[in-house]
Amino acid sequence: MRIILPKQIGTKEGNLLFKKSEKIEDFDEGREIVNLLKESLERYRRGVGLAAPQLGISKRVFIINIRPTENHPKLPQIGFRAYLNPEILSVSSETNRDFETCLSVFYATLSGIVERPSYVKLKYLSLDGKEQIEDISHPFQARIVLHEYDHLEGKVFLQRMRPEDFSKLIWQEQLDLRKRFKGSQDEKNS
């Protein structure tokens, strides 16, 4: 498989990250995008969500895959979910503040504090085109869904940060996603 590294802010390819995505009309195309997102996220072995614009596709599709891992055993067991043409119906007034990172912001090396609602009600289409409504009450899952939804709206987490929190940004160069693939045959083919 050829590795498609996520598009990055500050690059010509990354300009798409700041544009609102188009609705999915063709569900065969939607399934193909979901498969590409899932395959890419599994290959990165980092992150719990990925949106189509991060791979250079301006469509309203994102996935999440939240489960406990060796490094993060306290994550909830939500599993894999695909969201096509999602719409936020409501969010809670209750919020929480936590660190976020993004595969499209310096290859997941920069983390910053973002305040997000703890609950979100989302309407979306399933892979077969059926309308779904999901009440997401786990604050971590709500955070991830809202983070990925932002990508469809042309926003990255840095735009959600309070100005006073920029002094608390954390840079962790060793987490650079590209290091995982450096010198691999897949990277040479990309």
**How does DSSP assign 119-183, residue by residue?**
-EEEEEE-TTS-EEEEEE-SHHHHHHHHHHHHHHTT--GGGGS-GGGGGG-EE-GGG-GGGGTTT
Q: Per-residue pLDDT for 3 more than 70?
A: no
Name residue 62's beta-bridge partners.
Answer: 51, 83
What confidence score (pLDDT) does residue 4 get? Answer: 76
| Fold for the domain defined by 13-189 | Peptide Deformylase (3.90.45)
Contact 179, 122 (CB under 8 A): no
What confidence score (pLDDT) does residue 71 get? Answer: 78
Q: Per-residue pLDDT for 186 more than 80?
A: no
d(CA 49, CA 41): 7
- List, by residue number, the catalytic residues: 148
Mean pLDDT score of the chain: 92
- Mean pLDDT in residue range 144-169: 97
